[in-house]
Structures are given as structure tokens and as C-alpha cells.
């Protein structure tokens, strides 16, 4: 009986491991180049979502920094598009995790404060949960960027 339980547990772990390995897509060199080219200049949440769907497996290093830049810029300078983000994350929780992951130390303190102020003062009623999640994430992030942001002085 004990050996049957152990065997069942082992087979379950093997199948879960196989599933995880099967769903983890590698980032090809071509994908990395395309992702890095577009990551920091995505003009809308729909564009960020499309890029996420194509290149999430490439979200590392300079590409990740580009996504962080786009997320900080959209949240701080394009708050009027927050409804679009809310609709996208309502249908794709993995995208929500991606966005919140990119609310990080690369944003400036001014951006972080502007995002918090908007989330508190201008949060759409149907987006309260997401506004709270953004505020919570900003509170978790160490204050200020670790050094100069890429893109020149003062950015």
C-alpha cells in the first residue's frame, strides 16, 4: 500500500515537471532582438499585451528593463488608459502579474508618486482591485532607481 502511494506521488511529480518543461518556451535570438527593439517604446496597454503574448519568454535583462520603462511611463503619463489595462488584466491574470512585476525600482520616485496619486484619486470604480494592487506593489519596491536610467541624464 505504501509503495503504491509513493509510486503515485512520484508519477504525479514527473507529470507536473514534464508539463512545466513543455510550457516553458525558450527565447530565440530573433525574438530577443525584436522584443528588445520594441519593449521600451510600446505606446499603449494593448501593445504591451501583444508584446507580452509574443515575447514573455524573453523578459530578462535589457528587455525586462524596457518593459519596466513602458509600464512606468504608461501608468504615470497615460493614466487615462488605465481602463484599457483593467480590461486586459481581467481576461489575463498572467498579464497582470507581468505588469505588476514591472512596477519596479527602475521607475523614478516622481513616477511612483504620480502613479499612487492617480490610483488613489482617479481610480475607476470597476478597477479598484487593480488600483490597490498597483499601490501595494509600489510600496514593496525599494525607493528610487538603483542608478541612472538608460536614455541619458535626467530621465
Quote the pLDDT of residue 12: 36
Query: Considering only CA atoms, which of 112, 47, 52 is closest in space to residue 84?
Result: 47
User: Rounded CA gap, 40 and 65, in Å?
Assistant: 8
Quote the pLDDT of residue 71: 98
Helix, strand or coil, per DSSP, at residue 148:
coil
Quote the pLDDT of residue 92: 97
User: Rounded CA gap, 127 and 47, in Å?
Assistant: 20
What are the backbone dihedrals phi and psi of residue 152, each rounded to the nearest 5 degrees, phi first? 105, 170
- What is the chain's pLDDT, residue by residue, as a tens digit (155 residues)? 554 433 343 333 333 333 334 447 899 999 999 999 999 999 999 999 999 999 999 999 999 999 999 999 999 999 999 999 999 999 999 999 999 999 999 999 999 999 999 999 999 999 999 999 999 999 999 865 454 444 333 33
Quote the pLDDT of residue 15: 38
Cβ atoms of 134 and 100 within 8 Å: the answer is yes
Quote the pLDDT of residue 108: 96
Cα distances (Å, whole numbers) of residue 105 to 10, 126, 142, 145, 146: 41, 28, 6, 5, 7
Quote the pLDDT of residue 1: 52
Query: Which DSSP helix (H) or strand (E) runs through 101?
Result: helix 93-101
Amino acid at each position: 500500500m505504501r509503495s503504491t502511494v509513493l509510486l503515485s506521488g512520484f508519477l504525479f511529480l514527473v507529470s507536473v515537471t514534464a508539463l512545466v518543461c513543455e510550457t516553458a518556451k525558450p527565447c530565440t535570438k530573433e525574438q530577443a532582438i525584436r522584443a528588445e527593439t520594441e519593449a521600451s517604446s510600446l505606446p499603449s496597454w494593448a501593445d504591451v499585451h501583444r508584446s507580452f503574448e509574443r515575447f514573455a519568454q524573453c523578459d530578462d535583462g535589457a528587455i525586462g528593463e524596457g518593459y519596466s520603462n513602458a509600464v512606468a511611463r504608461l501608468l504615470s503619463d497615460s493614466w487615462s488608459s488605465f481602463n484599457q489595462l483593467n480590461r486586459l488584466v481581467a481576461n489575463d491574470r498572467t498579464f497582470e502579474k507581468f505588469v505588476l512585476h514591472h512596477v519596479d525600482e527602475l521607475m523614478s520616485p516622481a513616477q511612483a508618486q504620480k502613479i499612487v496619486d492617480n490610483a488613489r484619486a482617479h481610480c475607476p470604480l470597476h478597477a479598484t482591485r487593480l488600483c490597490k494592487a498597483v499601490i501595494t506593489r509600489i510600496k514593496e519596491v525599494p525607493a528610487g532607481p538603483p542608478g541612472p536610467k538608460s536614455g541619458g541624464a535626467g530621465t
